[in-house]
Amino acid sequence: MKKIILLLITLIPLLIFSDIIEQKEIDLNGDSINEKVILEGDYISSIFIDNLKLKIIGNESTTIELNFGSYEPKIEFYDFDGDKKLDVFIKGYSGGSGNYIYYYIYSYLNGELLDTKNEILDLKTSFMDGFKALVRFKDAYTYLALSDRKSEYIKMKVYNKYGQFIGKIKELFIGGIGELEPYDFGNDGIYELKGIISISGLYHADRIGYAHFIYSVKEKRIRWLEISKVIYVK
């Protein structure tokens, strides 16, 4: 009679540890006791870090999955909501031709303030007859002259020789955030976000101008907006 031998194998869970990208100790809630703030992630290459997460260790510890990877991620501390407590500002770069900025702001006391899913600046744009483009934000608008690229646009059959728009896509291309930094606009100790977004015409490299903005995280609104024009040189 054959004996049946059961072989029991114990499965040990594989533990995957993220790399510590940056670690700082700072008082986030005003109790004069420093919390440990850790930015972790997985090195995909020597310069790109994926699966970024923020860990805060203190009386109340928390872990926030940031849901993005980036180049050169870093953490800084500013008061964005005006509660006189420091918030955590995480920023990194997407790389590629656009090299846009990913960002996240976290309040240890109140939770998330602003993340990468929020649209700071909702611009409406369109090509217009007469070799110009309309850029609108809410009730404010301006026109950008495109006559400096007139011959190129006629050649590409976007305009005819009479200046009438004949292209298929009327909207311009609005890029991601190309520059972003905390900025104390009111000089009151409460920080806003100062940044730049690109405005392009027929394709990404057809750069028409930039939207320069200052956004109040506390008030959840644009405090200042200016549109600049790029002169086309063939």
Domain count along the chain: 2
Is the pLDDT score of 10 beyond 70?
A: no
Count the neighbouring beta carbons within 10 Å of the beta carbon of residue 144: 20
Which residues constitute the domain of residue 129? Answer: 124-229
Let me know whether 171 and 95 are in one domain: no
Domain boundary among the residues 114, 146, 178 is at 114
56 neighbors 66 (Cβ within 8 angstroms): no
Which of 164, 128, 166, 167 has its CA nearest to residue 145?
Answer: 128
33 inside domain: yes
8 inside domain: no
Model pTM score: 0.84
2 inside domain: no
Confidence of residue 9 (pLDDT cuts 50, 70, 90): low
What's residue 128's pLDDT? 97
Domain boundary among the residues 82, 114, 146 is at 114
Domain boundary among the residues 114, 137, 165 is at 114
pLDDT tens by residue, 54-95: 999 998 899 999 989 999 999 999 999 999 999 999 999 988
110 inside domain: yes
- What average pLDDT does range 141-161 have in this prediction? 95
14 inside domain: no
Residue with the larger pLDDT of the pair 102 and 118: 102
